[in-house]
Amino acid sequence: MLFGAGGHAKVVLEALLAGTPDIRVEVRDDAPALAGMPILGHAVRVPCLNGDPRDVVIHVAIGSNVARRRLALASCQAGARLFSIVHPAASLSPSATLGNGVFVAALALIGPESRIADGVIVNHGAIVDHDCQIGAWTHVAPRAVLGGGVRVGAGVLLGSGCVVLPGLEIGEGATVGAGAVVTRDVPSGKTVMGVPAK
């Protein structure tokens, strides 16, 4: 089951079907107004969890880190299991590790010995170089670039086209603005933007 029926869900569903075209998938959402609406040829069903979730494998396809985490954890507590989706046009090092419920979009690159925690989104064309560590429920937006050895805390948003120089640390819950160039560590909960990022 794919949870979510917004724009990010379309990206995730397309990636899933590109890699496994014969897979049987249900798209679900908790918004009653979306019931029956089509998403890439799949009618949305509501609610997300209906019935016994113990034999259900899910991917939460919601761009918001907070909402994605909340729904995934509630589903897992009810007995569902998370699965990851990697677009066949992504490049994933054999030595990289992915947690549960991760999404890696087309043209994204994850380098050697990088560790990607549960529920992370690595979006279109993003680069996560060697030895990076990405905390759970983080979103690496399209075309973001992380140099080697970058450490990113949980629940971070790395905006489109940002660059984080090698070896830096981005604290938990921080936000890096689109196009920013990060030249020093970012404390937890802080928002930085600009070139260099401040």
Of residues 8, 59, 87, 130, which has the active-site annotation?
Answer: 130
Sequence-distant (≥ 6) Cβ neighbours of residue 51 within 8 angstroms: none
Is the distance from CB of 180 to CB of 193 less than 8 angstroms?
yes
Sequence-distant (≥ 6) Cβ neighbours of residue 20 within 8 angstroms: none
Separation between Cα atoms, residue 57 and residue 121, nearest integer Å: 18
Annotated catalytic, 42? no
Separation between Cα atoms, residue 130 and residue 119, nearest integer Å: 20
Catalytic residues: 130
